[in-house]
Amino acid sequence: MLNPADSGPVASGTSAGSAQLSSRPILGLNVDRRYRLLYKPAVFAASLVPFAWLTCCLFGWLGFSAGVDPVKFLELECGQTVLNFIFITLMVTPVRQLASLPHLLRLRRMLGLFAFFYAALHFTVYLVLDLELDWRTLGADIAKRPYITVGFTALLMLVPLAVTSTNRMMRRLGRRWTKLHRLVYVIAAFGVWHFYWQEKKDIHEPVLYAGVLALLLGYRAVRVWRQSRAKAEVSYADGGLSRGNPSRMRQEADG
């Protein structure tokens, strides 16, 4: 699901060597089969662990408990799980670039879709268990309670990202797909904002999430700045060569 805009080329030198190393067969499986048969099923199973834990807490299975207010417990835990998956999804790009693991991109779509799954679960708990399907109260909360307005807006923005997460939609939308999926940055900010406003007393966790988000966005900003600077230097160098090379200058003039 989330954001191929960060998908830059693998660096040369040691990065290229690391990429080749990661593509070597392991256990007799090439990289494609490893991701299809091992890594993706493992990530899928791990992504269901929070859902299994919440279910056990709700029904009191295996000694787990949802506390004195199960509904509030589920709302909070589902909401934090959404943020966790969004942040893990955003971490794929810096990890794959810094560790020279380009194939990690194969896991990002699944992680993004699980973020949407837990966001839908979070909203379902609020609507069904908290409001008991009272649509008037839902409308009033969205209109009058700012933190719910922000959270609901983030959920709405997640919908088109989930719907367009197929290969067919990527091909159909082309460059518009990349622009659309940059909404993930706004969604992450809105999620942290929603969490901060909801926590009226203890804001340590929302502030921690905000700090991690700032680091993730800062990494992307620095990388984009370096890439644009490198392109500018290459363009300047090409221009200098053109000015210093008479034959090239004549070719450009003729063109």
Q: Dump pLDDT digits (tens) for 175-219.
A: 999 999 999 999 999 999 999 998 877 899 999 999 999 999 999
pLDDT greater than 80 at residue 117: yes
Q: How would residue 239 be classed by pLDDT, with cut points 50, 70 and 90?
A: low
If you write DSSP's letter for every residue of the chain in order, what string do you get? ---GGG-PPPPSTHHHHHHHHHTS-BTTB-HHHHIIIIIHHHHHHHHHHHHHHHHHHHHTGGG----S-HHHHHHHHHHHHHHHHHHHHHHHHHHHHHTT-GGGHHHHHHHHHHHHHHHHHHHHIIIIIISTT-HHHHHHHHHH-HHHHHHHHHHHHHHHHHHT-SHHHHHHHTHHHHHHHTHHHHHHHHHHHHHHHH-SS--HHHHHHHHHHHHHHHHHHHHHHHHHHHHHHHHHHHHHHHHH-HHHHHHHHH-
Q: What is the largest CA-CA distance in the chain?
A: 82
Q: Dump pLDDT digits (tens) for 73-87.
A: 999 999 999 999 999
Number of C-beta neighbours around residue 52 at 10 A: 13
Question: The tokens 């300047």 sit on which residue?
Answer: 236
Nearest to 6 by CA among 153, 112, 120, 152: 112
**Which pLDDT belongs to residue 11?**
41
Rama region for 174: left / alpha / beta (φ>0; ψ in -120 to 50; rest): left
**pLDDT mean across residues, the chain:** 86
Domain ranges of the chain: 11-198
pLDDT greater than 50 at residue 7: no
Among residues of the chain, what percentage have pLDDT more than 90? 73
Q: How would residue 25 be classed by pLDDT, with cut points 50, 70 and 90?
A: low
* CA atoms within 13 Å, Cβ hemisphere of 207: 5
Report in angstroms the alpha-carbon separations of 67 from 29, 57, 72, 181, 189. 46, 8, 9, 37, 29
Q: How would residue 153 be classed by pLDDT, with cut points 50, 70 and 90?
A: very high
Q: What is the mean pLDDT of residues 152-156?
A: 97
Q: Evaluate whether 100 touches 201 at the Cβ level (below 8 Å).
A: no
**Which pLDDT belongs to residue 231?**
84
Nearest to 101 by CA among 111, 114, 109, 91: 91
Number of C-beta neighbours around residue 81 at 10 A: 23
Nearest to 105 by CA among 161, 39, 160: 39
Tokens of 111: 């992680």
**Which pLDDT belongs to residue 243?**
53
Name, in order, each residue with C-beta under 8 angstroms of 185's C-beta and a sequence gap of 6 or more: 3, 217
pLDDT greater than 70 at residue 23: no
Among residues of the chain, what percentage have pLDDT more than 70? 82
